[in-house]
């Protein structure tokens, strides 16, 4: 099994009436800018371990499990609202950084959160890194009636137990699932991640540490005009990192392309781009050494 080179500690902190789990590497100190890492959909803060291990020096790293993921509590709700992630992040920065600006790195959904948050709170972020946080296809107001109807239907399906996450008879089964999802993930890393991504419950089976309610479609449409306005408010240097595999072509064929997303990025004033070769969407698993170098060079300015 993979053996971490840098040891993290788990902290549980009160954030907006939830018991939030935060994984922390290193210690704060003079001249150290807090490095905040936020994970993507159906992931956990421990997912950053391989990249943290690849850093050339010790950083003060803060990696929360988002609400309803990992060891963070789920709210007493049956669906999730995207603005809550931004508010949770703001409360977390209050606790871990105070008034000090931080370097913020987000992957996938976390990259979307990081971009929107930085547009809303530009003074709190010193450097911003977005790893494959594309956002969603553009929508039209005419889609609203169908979207609300779909949201209601999915809520009913959740309450009927039809949207439960798959469970596994062994932790090895979880590791095999991770390797099926990411063909580049090695056995040793999959074995380690499986124990961070799931827990054995009273029924003897291994359950993914994610609330099934995360699968509910957002009731509100994705508004590109609002997103671009937030992008324009990003005041810090920003690094966009893209994997060599084109995830959008697989997820949204014909509906949302890399070219369309690159056009959106033109709204970001201080933008740099990087391409990670031989990597898919989970590029922090596929190329942690290269990604660690990219991020360190960028935050060092």
What are the start-end ranges of the H helices in the chain? Answer: 49-54, 82-96, 109-120, 144-159, 171-181, 187-197, 224-232, 247-251, 258-265, 283-286, 288-299
Please tell me whether residues 60 and 203 are part of one structural domain. Answer: no
Per-chain mean pLDDT for the chain? 97
Please tell me whether residues 280 and 131 are part of one structural domain. Answer: yes
- Residue 263 is predicted with a pLDDT of 98
Please tell me whether residues 123 and 145 are part of one structural domain. Answer: no
- Is residue 251 in a domain? yes
95 pLDDT tier (thresholds 50, 70, 90): very high
- Is residue 82 in a domain? yes
- Residue 149 is predicted with a pLDDT of 98
Order across the sheet with 9-15: list the strands. Answer: 9-15, 18-25, 61-64, 35-38, 102-107, 125-131, 238-243, 271-276
Strands 18-25 and 206-208: unpaired
Q: What is the pTM assigned to this prediction? A: 0.97
Mean pLDDT for 267-271 is: 98
Please tell me whether residues 125 and 264 are part of one structural domain. Answer: yes
Please tell me whether residues 128 and 230 are part of one structural domain. Answer: yes
Whether residue 277 is predicted with pLDDT greater than 90 in this model: the reply is yes
Please tell me whether residues 88 and 128 are part of one structural domain. Answer: yes
Whether residue 213 is predicted with pLDDT greater than 90 in this model: the reply is yes
Mean pLDDT for 57-64 is: 97
Q: Which domain holds residue 155?
A: 141-163+210-220
- Residue 50 is predicted with a pLDDT of 98
pLDDT digits 0-9 by tens, 224-259: 999 999 999 999 999 999 999 999 999 999 999 999
Mean pLDDT for 275-301 is: 97
Among residues 80, 116, 111, which one has the least CA distance to residue 219?
Answer: 80
Mean pLDDT for 161-188 is: 98
Please tell me whether residues 238 and 134 are part of one structural domain. Answer: yes
- Residue 301 is predicted with a pLDDT of 83
Strands 238-243 and 271-276: parallel
Order across the sheet with 167-168: list the strands. Answer: 167-168, 206-208, 198-200
- Is residue 192 in a domain? yes
Q: How far apart are CA 10 and CA 139, in angstroms?
A: 40
Q: pLDDT over 90 for what percent of the chain?
A: 99
Please tell me whether residues 277 and 244 are part of one structural domain. Answer: yes
């Amino acid at each position: 099994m993979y053996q971490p080179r840098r040891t993290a500690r788990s902290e549980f902190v009160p954030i907006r009436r939830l018991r939030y789990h935060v994984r922390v590497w290193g210690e704060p100190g003079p001249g150290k800018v807090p490095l905040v890492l936020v994970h993507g959909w159906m992931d956990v803060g421990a997912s950053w371990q391989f990249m943290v291990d690849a850093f050339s020096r010790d950083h003060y790293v803060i990696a929360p499990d988002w609400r309803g993921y990992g060891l963070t509590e789920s709210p007493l709700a049956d669906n999730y609202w995207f603005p809550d992630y931004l508010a949770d992040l703001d409360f977390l920065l209050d606790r871990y950084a105070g008034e000090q600006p931080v370097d913020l790195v987000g992957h996938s959904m976390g990259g979307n959160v990081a971009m929107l948050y930085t547009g809303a709170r530009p003074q709190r972020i010193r450097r911003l890194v977005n790893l494959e946080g594309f956002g969603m296809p553009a929508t039209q107001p005419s889609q609203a009636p169908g979207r609300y109807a779909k949201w209601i239907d999915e809520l009913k399906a959740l309450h009927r137990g039809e949207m439960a996450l798959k469970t596994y008879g062994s932790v090895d089964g979880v590791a095999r699932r991770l390797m099926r999802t990411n063909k580049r993930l090695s056995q040793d890393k999959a074995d380690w991640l499986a124990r961070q991504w799931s827990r054995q419950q009273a029924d003897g089976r291994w359950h993914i540490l994610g609330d099934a309610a995360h699968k509910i479609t957002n009731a509100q449409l994705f508004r590109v005009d609002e997103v671009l306005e937030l992008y324009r408010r990003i005041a810090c240097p920003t690094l966009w990192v893209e994997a060599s595999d084109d995830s959008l072509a697989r997820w949204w064929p014909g509906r949302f392309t890399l070219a369309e997303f690159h056009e959106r990025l033109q709204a970001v004033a201080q933008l740099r781009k990087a391409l990670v070769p031989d990597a898919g969407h989970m590029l922090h698993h596929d190329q942690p050494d290269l990604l660690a170098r990219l991020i360190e060079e960028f935050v060092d300015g």
